[in-house]
Amino acid sequence: MMKPELANYRGREQSYFKHRFLEKYLTRGGIIIGSWADSFTYVEGFSGPWRSQSETLGDTSFAIALNQLREAQRTVQERFGKDLKLRAFFIESDRVAHGKLRAYADERAGIEIETRHSTFEESISEAVAFARSGARSNFTFTCIDPTGWKGFALSRITPLLSLERSECLINLQTSFIRRFITLKESRASFEELFGSSEPMDAVGALALDKREEFILREYAQRIRLAGGFSHVSAAVVLRPNLERPQFHLIYLTRNRKGVSVFKDAEKAIVEEMPEIRGRAKQRKREEQSGQLELTSMAESRSSYLDRIGGQYRIDAWTRIKDKLRLGGQLLYDDAFDIAMTHPLVWEQDLKEWIRQDGTLQIAGLKPGERVPKLNMGHFLQAK
């Protein structure tokens, strides 16, 4: 049965997937962070609201974030007996949208909220100052959610990324970038995005079907290094009616546990995609034919996800085996880090590869342990 809130996402199902990521991650991640932090600061650039179909703005990223953080706050109080202070800093350059955002913020009691009617880049220093004004053990989560590739130049946002005890989620519009990155008139804006001209020089030599993956990988590594993050992972969100990506969500953290939370959220969303995309395609057919279909047609799976997921798994395991050949052994934690940089790859895939590979053995296991686990000193080596 379709979730009632999906009625607010007709024609923009890709936004639903993005918001579900945010919802699932902040619910669990907020509790984990709240177990040690005294305040949680949420920073969002390009806040909107845009194309919201809910009178309460419940289908916006800022509303979803605050609602989930409130849930986390309640759980932290119940489970750990401590008060987690919630703070938010929202940035929106459109005057009308900012007015709605400000009105929403004024109605949220119990949360310290500041908004800026400005561009994201122009507000970075203020966002950094706001984050640093939190509790001594403050944690900052930044969501960068643009509609294109401009307005968050790498050099401009680096101070925000570099905050200690912080994570970041970036909506990278890879489908648009792939289309325009080789155009001469767009070169300057892409140099700002990547912080270098090298990606534009390299992407032109690639086949069209290889460019999107190159763009994702190149940007993810550049943003990770700029912010000093230890880990980066990504998830793909498909267009509602086509077997092609709409955008990729890039997640950056300094804690491996955060990667596990992000990957669990990714897996849950991938499991929802067939039904929601099937309904979107059905609605489009009905609009074109002018006739209602009596039976709801949900997809069983996506051929595109099957194909690229298979390739990601091959690439991840190849990289792990290459590392093993070079060093003779590899910490399970390091193998996990390699595998989890890829979309559509989960820890159970890694464990299955290890189990099926007849040339490897797991070292460092204690009596009674049979499978490798994170943070236990387990490592892989040749038999």
- Tens digits of residue pLDDT in 15-64: 888 898 999 999 899 999 999 999 999 999 999 987 777 777 888 999 99
In percent, the amount of the chain with pLDDT more than 90 equals: 72
Element (H, E) at 329: strand 329-331
pLDDT at 295 over 60: no
Torsion angles phi and psi, residue 139, rounded to 5 = -120, 140
326-341 pLDDT, tens digit each:
988 999 999 999 999 9
**In the predicted model, what is the mean pLDDT of the chain?**
91
User: What CATH number does domain 4-279 carry, 3.40.50.720, 3.50.50.60, 3.40.50.2300, 3.40.50.150?
Assistant: 3.40.50.150
pLDDT at 283: 67
The region of weakest confidence among 128-137, 176-185, 284-293 is: 284-293
| Residues contacting residue 258 through CB under 8 Å, at least 6 positions apart | 29, 167, 231, 251
* pLDDT at position 84 over 90: yes
What integer pLDDT is reported at residue 285 of this predicted model?
Answer: 66
User: How many Å apart are CA 317 and CA 323, to the nearest integer?
Assistant: 10
287, pLDDT greater than 70:
no
Distance CA 111, CA 128 (A): 18
List Cα–Cα distances, 71 to 4, 47, 222, in angstroms: 20, 21, 34
Q: What pLDDT score does 299 carry?
A: 60
pLDDT greater than 90 at residue 172: yes
User: Structure pTM?
Assistant: 0.92
Question: Which own/partner contact pairs does 23-26 have at CB distance under 8 Å and 24+ positions apart?
Answer: 23/64, 23/68, 24/264, 24/265, 24/268, 24/269, 25/169, 25/251, 25/261, 25/262, 25/265, 26/64, 26/65, 26/68, 26/69, 26/72, 26/141
The helix (run of H) or strand (run of E) holding residue 363 is strand 360-363
d(CA 132, CA 127): 9
- The helix/strand/coil state of 10 is coil
CA atoms within 13 A on the CB side of 286: 13
Query: Which part of the chain has CATH 3.40.50.150?
Result: 4-279
Give the pair of three-digit tokens for residue 125: 């220093």
Q: Residue 126 above 80 pLDDT?
A: yes
CA distance 122 to 142: 16
